[in-house]
A and B are shown apart, each in its own frame.
Chain A
Amino acid sequence: MGNVLTIILQRLALGLLTLLIVSIVIFVAVNLLPGNFAEAILGQGATPDAIASIERDLGLDQPLVTRYFQWLGGVLRGDLGTSFAQANFASFSGTTSGATTIAEQIAPRFGNTMFLAMITAAIAVPFSIILGILAALYRNTVFDRATNIFTLTSISSPEFFLAYILILFLAVLNPIFPSLSNIFEGMPFSERVEKSMLPALTLTLVVTAHMMRMTRAAIINLLASPYIEMARLKGLSPMRVIVKHALPNALAPIINVIALNLAYLITGVVVVEVVFVYPGIGQLFVDSVKIRDIPVVQACCLIFATAFILLNLTADIMSILSNPRLRHPK
């Protein structure tokens, strides 16, 4: 087992290195965005003097490299910094009350996004695995074709389009779910779930195809192997062959794909959150980009990157653990 531990530690170290590189990319890319915070916040009132004074207040007049290391140092200490908008407004009166650090600003939003991701996962994962199994079972039938067409169509459509289609059918024509997902703190759980239903269903449609097709392919791949033939020759029902014999061995690739899609549920929600006015991290991200609030944008990017890297790492480790050949590389 020591071997496995080494592999995991190696992977973690690699993950950290990736994160460091990503942080450089984020920092440079965000700072390359045209326009700047001072201009965005001042709008028509952006006179050179006013811009210079805001930039001085926020340290934007420092060279890029200095700012990067200041930021990185802060992040390592767990300090994501202060949002420009908050810093700017705090300087109006010296008010420091209210949520002033980015961490405080992001925490509730991140919680909301995680909530949405969990609801979506609770619907999407069983749904796509069952669909995948059924498609494998009835492969090349009308059912299989229909499932494939449906899921491929939904993954190929832009998210906002799927969202509007769902709004049209489930909120406007048949008012089953609300089109506005403005959940807030203190809202009862059941109401929260109901309000989050449409964004969750939209995300489900987006992630289903990948997981379902992987399940189907992995199972079909195994169906040609001798031990499945053996099981069939024993006279087991096709369903039993698939669920009991094929599925456990197909789990590695399936888990891999599930982990990747979970990462997508956290990082890919931006458009969906905006369409449904869901107060998650995606919406915060869009608002911050709009006003060029660089520290918040960077923090959001970093969170997205961490989530992606961590879930990828999980996927990697899971497939290593479930595959002895990877566990003992030559």
Chain B
Amino acid sequence: MHGISRRGLLKTGAAAGVLGLTGMPLRAQTRGGKLTAGLSGANTSDSWDGRTHSDLFMIASAHGTVFDCLTEVAADGSLKGELAESWEASADAKTWTFNLRQGVTFHNGKAFGADDVIESLQMHVAEGAKSAAQPIVAAISEMKKVTDFQVQFTLENGNADFPYLMSDYHLLMFPAGQIEEGIAQGIGTGLYQVQSFDPGVRMVATRFPDHYKGDSVGLFDEVEYIAINDNTARMNALMTGQVDAINRIDFKTEALLRANPALRIQEVTGNQHYTFAMLTDNAPFDDVNVRRALKYGINRQEMVDKILLGHGQVGNDTPIGPASQYYHAEMEQLEYDPDKSKFYLQEAGLDSLNIDISASNAAFEGAVDAAQLFQASAAAGGINLNVVQEPADGYWSNVWLKKPFSAVYWSGRATEDWMFSTAYEAGVPWNDSQWDENDSARFQELLITARAELDSAKRQEQYFEMQQILRDDGGVLVPMFANYVQAVNNRISSPDTVGNLWQMDNARMAERWSVA
């Protein structure tokens, strides 16, 4: 159902299992050597300032290589400590105490401690600062240094996901009192220290000796990330062996990469999803029957096959994807069914429906094609969609959140609460379906209770119910989750489980991969 690549993944998994039984090493753990990666998302305006990071090149360079956060999401999605050793919460999930790792030093020799944590987090709420992680830090009402290696955070409202949020790639730990130098030279506590950094061109870092993470990770002597924003150039560089790994392969030329025996393709389904959002306070989308008619009028599998060329998974109208802890995989899948579309239109008292759908390739690659596929499939159910091709420039300010029905992409969030409170909580600015109490009071209530719930069984129940509500009544169509697809030279070995939170093993290839 998910295409050859997923089957391929399963097969390799099975083969690995057999190897495991026979006692053969699954992969060589060679120390030394160099990793050269060609990555997109680089800009001449890039800097080491974590507040500005938004694309892969800097996330891989800073978060994945040179800097550390308090916590880290492992490849299997579980949370583990990075600069924090352990943490505990009060019963209402409002007060969090983090015990920091001792004996850690920054690349300039300064010792790491509680002051660094507090100052690094305060950067994000500084006067005039424009940090994407500002809401996370702003939710902390007090940061208290208990000892040199213990910090206590008091939150305005209980949040069971707080340790998860601390793994966010913006929240890098800089040396206190030297934050400016830290930003200028890239001084972190990560496995590798910066040798040279040319914004928008390349980044070279070498292994930091005696690192607290030990000798089992960060096996390269040196890593070099080369900025290659052009798809074809990136592929050429991999094909001619000038780089060992590239992110975001072009699906149209994927067959050529597969035909090359020296390369392998890594594919993971994460939380990145493409949507069509309806403003539910506008007619006719305020009628839940109209929304349901549209849900049955979209052919999800066809979109995965034709828009993502098979590199994805069908969505079920919730933004919670397979990379999430409480992903409701057993929920009944919405299928294309024009008869049900007609039925719900009748329920809404309509014979047919004429609506505009706004799309542009700024929303996601292929959004206009996707809208046209939707137009064709919905027609059978009596819905006449008129595809309005919007200009790419200004799409996010003039179309998204303004036009009643528009195409959108979301890279997804690490936790359910984060995703919901970004785009589904009543009143938040990015709520692109105007989803609020009028649509589902139960949803908004669950959102608040689940946030502070520390019992994970109860939480699961609550998040499953929320996903069910969105699937049945929600104002956002989520037809597909797009895979992260990357290619690696067989010279480099990577673990069997590759992170699916971000591209390139959660951008941590320098830490987790090695020379084969």
A residues contacting B by CB (< 8 A) are 34-35, 39, 42-48, 50-51, 54, 83, 85-86, 88-89, 91-95, 97-99, 105, 164, 167, 171-172, 175, 178-180, 182, 184-185, 274-277, 279, 283-284, 287-288, 291, 293, 296
Contact = CB atoms under 8 A, between A and B. Distances in A.
B334 interface: no
Contact of A279 (B201, B239, B241): B201
B184 A92 contact: no
B233 to A, nearest CB: 5
B230 A277 contact: yes
Contacts of B51: 92-93
Given A93-B179, A277-B226, 13 more contacts: A42-B396, A43-B54, A46-B397, A88-B45, A89-B47, A91-B128, A92-B126, A93-B129, A95-B184, A97-B181, A178-B240, A274-B230, A275-B232
Interface residues of B, number: 49
A303 to B, nearest CB: 15
Interface in B225-265: 226-230, 232-233, 236-237, 239-243
B183 interface: yes
A274 B231 CA distance: 10
Given A85-B43, A89-B45, A93-B49, A39 B393 contact: yes
Q: Is the interface of A mostly helix, strand, loop or mixed?
A: helix
Contact of A39 (B128, B200, B396): B396
A171 B52 CA distance: 36
A179 B201 CA distance: 16
Interface of B: 38, 43-45, 47, 49, 51-52, 54, 123, 126, 128-132, 179-181, 183-184, 196, 198-202, 226-230, 232-233, 236-237, 239-243, 391, 393-394, 396-397, 400, 429-430
Given A44-B400, A92-B131, A274-B233, A179 B242 contact: yes
A179 B44 contact: no
Nearest to B408: A44
A116 B184 CA distance: 30
B198 A279 contact: yes
A291 B43 contact: yes
Contacts of B126: 92-93
B45 A277 contact: no
A45 B132 contact: yes
Nearest to A168: B236
A229 to B, nearest CB: 54
Contact of A105 (B38, B44, B132, B227): B44
A93 B183 contact: yes
B339 to A, nearest CB: 36
Nearest to A288: B44
A277 B179 contact: no
Nearest to A42: B396
A288 B181 CA distance: 26
27 contacts: A34-B393, A39-B396, A44-B396, A44-B430, A47-B429, A48-B397, A83-B45, A85-B45, A88-B130, A91-B130, A92-B49, A92-B51, A95-B47, A97-B180, A97-B184, A172-B236, A172-B239, A175-B241, A179-B240, A180-B228, A182-B201, A184-B201, A277-B233, A284-B44, A284-B200, A287-B44, A296-B44
A164 to B, nearest CB: 7
A172 B241 CA distance: 9
Contact of A180 (B43, B52, B240): B240
A134 B190 CA distance: 62
A182 B202 contact: yes
Contacts of B54: 43
Contacts of A287: 43-44, 200, 229
